[in-house]
Each structure stands twice: as structure tokens, then as C-alpha cells.
Structure 1
Amino acid sequence: MHLSELVARFAQQPAHGVPDWMLGFYKRQAISFADGLTDTQTHVCWFQSRNFTLDLRLPLEQHQVPAKPLAACSVEELQQLANYEGWEALCAWEGNTLSWHTDTSFQVHNRWPEPGVLKRIGNCMIEFAPSGAYVEDWRLQSSAPGALIGLRLLEDRELESGIVRHRGGGLIVCGDYAAMVLGRAQPLQSEPKGAMLRDMIARLGDDPQWLNRAFNFETSVARGSLADGYPVTLSTCAARVSQPLLPLDGFDRLEDGVHVSQRLRIDGIDRERIFAIDTLEPLVHFAQATGFNGDAAQWYEREAPTLSRYTRPVV
């Protein structure tokens, strides 16, 4: 069945999860560090379902490696690719702090080990590192009300051969946006222990089989609709840009009620993806405003001639 039919027929929402104001697609406006420096240019995307997060971090387009076979990449280009970031992880909300665990990551070490202390006002969500190392300004991207779908990928397997193509990852659809992570079939062992991906690529980058294993990973972000599909706009795999994020048909809810399968055909090979359901919600409002309490509303109205002089939406 089509993904839109799946969410309509089998709507469900977990009993626990992050607050409603955290749901949806955020792009980072800025990160400011304790040394007084700020980055406003890196593409950083945060997709939030009820109980897991998808994340993509890429340099500007002119600094990304163009689509080409790995064998055609120079040593310098392989090092550029080695610094891309994409991951999926379960999350836990406690007090005003969000932490992550059980991740599927392109990197082989945790680049962001701290939890986030979060507060949102309007469409602006601020994340403080508890150590004081940085603060991030995230902006909820504007979307019409629409479905919130969170599916965690367990495996992607070829039907005839049984070969596993991907393990771990997930799919989040939130209104006008969608994102997907496809993890490696087998995890890379950090060798020597504690080595970073860029170090491993510098040492093993002349082994084509190892390179294919290392780069058998995708994180992609897309914009579109459940009706017309979601073309990819940003991806760790440059060749995926402008392609459909995934086929939107071939879904079925399994009899246990907690898993979903998708049958699809990629490069002439029939495959099946098995997902665990986080949430299937047909209609969520991704509101840009968080509202004022009574006293604050009176203050804002009273002081509007100056407070609203230059205000505009910023996403």
C-alpha cells in the first residue's frame, strides 16, 4: 500500500516521547562556540520524530564532492567525504534535556557526545551544551499541516539472495519534508581502537572493497509531499540529489502491529525493508508560534510600535 494509506489506516502514536513543540524539521541558523566564533553556513538538518532523531551535516555545495565513483575520487576528496556527518539515534527527554543513544552513524566516533538543553520560543529552538562549549540556534522549517511518520529501519535485504544491504537507520516524514538514514550492512571496526573515520580512510583508502563498505551509508533530506513524492535536496551521496528519497508504495503493516515492511525494486533487484514503528500520525500542525501568556501578550501589544518595527519570519 501507499505510505499515505498506511498512516491513514493504521494511525498510532506512542504513549511517551518528546514534547510536541520539538517535532518536525529544523535547520541550524548558527552555532556559537565558547571561543567567540560562530558558524552560520554549514548545512545542518535535524528531523525529530516522537522518540528518535535524524541528523545531516554537510559543507556548502561548492565544497562538496561531486557525484562520481569512489575509485575516481582523489585522496583529498576522500578526506572531504570522510568529514560528512549523518546519523539516526533514539532519544530520551528528561526535564529540559534531550539525550541520544543506540545510534546508526556514518562516523565511527561520537562527534557530539553532550546532551542538549533545549527551549523553544516561536520557531526558534535554542540548544545549550551543558559544558558551555557551544550554543545552537535551530529554526523550525515552515510546513503545512501534514503527516508525522517515524519508522526506524531494522534491515534492508535482497529478497532472492538474502544479502543484507543496510542495517539501522530510519525514515521521518513531517509535512512538506522527509529524511532517511540507511546504515552500513556491517559496522566498521575502528582500527586502531578510537581511530576516526578520516584516519581509517587515510590508511585503507586504496582498498576498493573496504571503501565500498565504508561508504555504504546514506543520509538524505528531501522536500515534497506524500501525494507527489520527496525529491532529495541534500545528501551524503551526491548522486542522490534530485532523485526520489524512496518509493512511497509497497508498504504493509505486519501482523504484530509494531513493524512495517516495504517491498521495493532498486537497480533491478527486489528488496524488502523492515521498520519498527515509532509513530504514524495523519495530521500534525507544525506551528511556527509558541504563543504568549496573558501578561506577555499585553506587553507585546503595548510595545508593538517598536518591538514589531522590523520583525519578519526567519527560518
Structure 2
Amino acid sequence: MTLAELLAQHARRPQQGVPEWMLGYYKRRAISFANGETDLHTHVCWLQSRTFTIDLRLPLQDRQVAAKTLADYSAEELQVLANYEGWEALSEWREPMLSWHSDTSLQLHNRWPEPAELKRFGNCMIEFAPSGAYVEDWRLQPSAPGPLIGLRLLEEREVESAVVRHRGGGLIVCGDYAALVLGRAEPLAVPDGTQLRDLVAAAVGDGAQLARLFNFETSVAQGSLVEGFTVNLSTQPARVGQNLLALDGFEYLAADGRVRQTLDVDGIRCERLFTIDTLEITLPFAQATGFTPGAAAWFERESPTLARYTQPLC
């Protein structure tokens, strides 16, 4: 069955999870640090399902590396790749704090160890680091009302050989957007504190070792369940412009409530096994959070100056 048919026939949602106002696809507009400096440019994407998050962080397009064979990258290009960030993790909400655990990550150490103190106004979600190190301004990306799908990946395995290609990851679809994470087949056995960029620096020109290190994907895409989703940002340069994933080949496994997808990957027949976080037919992904009656009256009364230059920002 297609992903749309899976959604229609087996809709469900967990009893607990993050607040409604946190669901969807956010892009970071700014991060301001305690030293007075601000970053307005890094591509940072946050897709939120009911109980897990997908996150992608990349430099500007002209600073990203072009797609080529791993062994053909220069040491400098490999360092750019090694500093990409992509992950998925379970999210736990204890108002006003969101924390993460059980992550699947490209990086080998946690670059963002603090929980997030969150509050939303309109399409703007503000995140404070409890330490005071930074504050982030996130903007909910405009979307027509649409599905919220959260599937956590257990593994991707070749059908004929039973070789495991990926373990851990997930798929989130939220309205007009979707993201996919595919974890490494096996964790890298390295000492605590080892950084990916150091391992990559020692593997320049070694295609086999680089393939192990970069056997990971986080991709963000735009589209629909009807037309498909096209990747526009990815930790894998060759994935940009491709379909995020096949939208058919899904099967609901009634015995344990899991989902299996059978699909061709690079010409090889594979199976992906998922657990279900949520399958919801439609959410509004509203840009507004609304006013109290008193605040609404104040805004209307003072709108000649308050609304003089207002416009939506994403």
C-alpha cells in the first residue's frame, strides 16, 4: 500500500507527546549567543512529530560541497562534510522544557547537550538555553493543512542477503514537508570524546573507511503524499534534487503494530522496518497562536502604529 493508504487505514496518535503548537517544520531564523554575536545564515531545520525530533544543520549552499565519490574529496571538502549535523531523537516535554534522548546522529558527540526552554508566539518559537549560552528564534514554515506522520526506523535490510544497511533513524511528514534519517549500520567503535572530523581527517582518500564514517543520512524535502517529496537539503550531497523516498511498498504488521516498507535502494531490494509514533490524517499547522480578548482589543486599538510595518516572516 502507499503511505497515504497506510495513513487512511491505520490512523492513530499517541496519548502523550509535545504540545500541539510545537508540531511541524521549523527553520531557525537566528541564534544569539551570550557574547553578543548572532548567526543568521546556517541552515537549521527542526521537524517535530509527537514524540521525536529530526534536526539538520548545514552551511550556506555556496559553502556546501558538491556531490562526488568520497575518495575524490579533498581534505578540506571532507572537513566541511564532517561538520554537517543531522540527527533524530526521542523528545520529552516537561513544561516549559523539551529534552532529547536515544538519538541517532551523524556526529559522534552531542554538540547541543542542553534542554530547550520553549515558548511560541504566532509562527515564532523562542528557545532559551537554561545556561544562558544562547537564544534561538525558530519560525514555523507555511504549510497547507495536511498529514502528520511519524515513523521511527528500526533497520533497513537487504532482502536477499539480509545485510543491514542502516539502523536507527526515522521519517516525519508534516504537511508540505518531510524529513528522513538513516543511521549507520553499526555504531563506530571509538573512544569517548572522539570527534567525527578527526576520524575523517585520518581517512582522506580511503573510500572504504569514509563510506563507514558517512554511512548516514539526514534529508529534508518538500512536496506531498500525492506527488512525492523532493530533497532540498541533505547531509548527503548527491541526494539533493532526488525523491526523499518511495511512497509505496508499505505494509502494516498487525501482529506487533509495526510498519514494513519494501523498496529498491540503489537497485537493491530492501526492507525498512518502522515503529509508529503517529499517523494523523490532517493538522492545520496554523501560523497564529491567537490573543487573549484583552490583548486582541489592545492590538486592534493600537494597530495604526503596531501594524504599520508588520508582515509574515519565515
Q: Shorter-chain-normalised TM-score: which range?
A: over 0.9
Instruction: Tell me the amino acid that sits aligned with residue 124 of structure 1.
Output: C
Aligned twin of 1:43: 43
In structure 2, distance between residues paired with 1:119 and 1:257 = 37
Structure 1: which amino acid aligns with 2:37? L
1:68 aligns with 2:64: no
TM-score between the two structures when normalised by the length of structure 1: 0.98
Give the superposed CA RMSD. Answer: 0.8
Task: Assess if the C-alpha contact under 8 Å between 2:219 and 2:233 holds in 1.
Answer: yes
Runs of 5+ consecutive residues of structure 1 not aligned to the other structure: none
Counterpart secondary structure, 2:120: strand
Find the counterpart in structure 2 of residue 252 from structure 1: 251
Partner in structure 1 of residue 299 of structure 2: 300
Contact 1:148-1:284 within 8 A present in 2 as well: yes
CA distance in structure 1 between the partners assigned to 2:168 and 2:112 by the alignment: 19
* Number of matched pairs: 314
Amino acid at match of 1:302: R
Corresponding residue of 1:310: 309
In 2: Cα distance, 1:111 partner to 1:242 partner: 28
Aligned to 1:21: 21
Instruction: Name the CA distance, whole Å, in 1 between partners of 2:262 and 2:299.
Output: 53
Residue aligning to 1:274: 273
Partner of 1:213: 212
What CA deviation, in whole Å up to 9, does each residue of 1:272-304 have, x standing for no partner?
000000000001110000000111011111101
1:257 positional shift? 5.0
For the Cα contact (< 8 Å) 1:27–1:44, is it kept in 2?
yes
**Contact 2:72-2:205 within 8 A present in 1 as well:** no
- Percent identity of equivalent pairs: 67
Quote the residue 2:138 is aligned against: 138
* SS of match in other structure, 1:88: strand
Alignment partner, residue 287 of structure 1: 286
- Contact kept in structure 2, 1:229 and 1:248, CA below 8 Å: yes
2:89 aligned with 1:84 = no
| Alpha-carbon shift at residue 266 of structure 1 (Å) | 1.6
Aligned counterparts of 2:214 and 2:202: Cα–Cα separation in 1: 15
Per the TM alignment, residue 206 of structure 1 is displaced from its structure 2 partner at its CA by 4.4
Deviation at 1:258, TM superposition (A): 2.6
| Pairwise CA distance, 1:229 | 0.2
Q: Which moved more, 1:48-57 or 1:251-260?
A: 251-260
Which residue number corresponds to residue 148 of structure 2? Answer: 148
Q: Is the 8 A contact 2:249 2:262 kept in 1?
A: yes
Task: Give the drift of 1:202.
Answer: 1.6
Pair 1:108-2:71 in alignment? no
Which amino acid is the alignment partner of residue 185 of structure 1? A
Q: CA deviation at 1:188?
A: 1.2
Alignment partners' CA distance in 1, 2:244 and 2:38: 32
Post-superposition offset of 1:267? 2.1
Aligned equivalents of 1:275 and 1:122: distance in 2?
33
Q: Which runs of 5+ in 2 are unaligned?
A: none
User: Take 1:126 and 1:67, find their aligned partners in 2: how far apart are those partners?
Assistant: 34
SS at match of 1:162: coil
CA contact (8 A) 1:259 1:276 kept: yes
Tell me if structure 2 keeps the 8 A contact 1:56–1:86. yes
SS in structure 1 of the partner of residue 44 of structure 2:
strand
CA distance in 2, matches of 1:86, 1:161: 28
Partner SS, residue 78 of structure 2: helix
What is the rounded CA distance, in whole Å, between the counterparts of 1:239 and 1:171 in structure 2? Answer: 19
CA shift, 1:203, in A, is: 2.4
- 1:3 aligned partner: 3
TM value normalised by structure 2: 0.99
State the Cα deviation string for residues 43-85 of structure 1 (Å, max 9, x = none).
Answer: 0000000000000000001000100000110011111110000
CA distance in 2, matches of 1:3, 1:238: 26
Q: Alpha-carbon deviation of 1:195?
A: 1.4
Query: C-alpha offsets along residues 179-199 of structure 1, whole Å, 9 cap, x if unaligned?
Result: 0000000111234x3111111
Give secondary structure in 2 for the equivalent of 1:11. Answer: coil
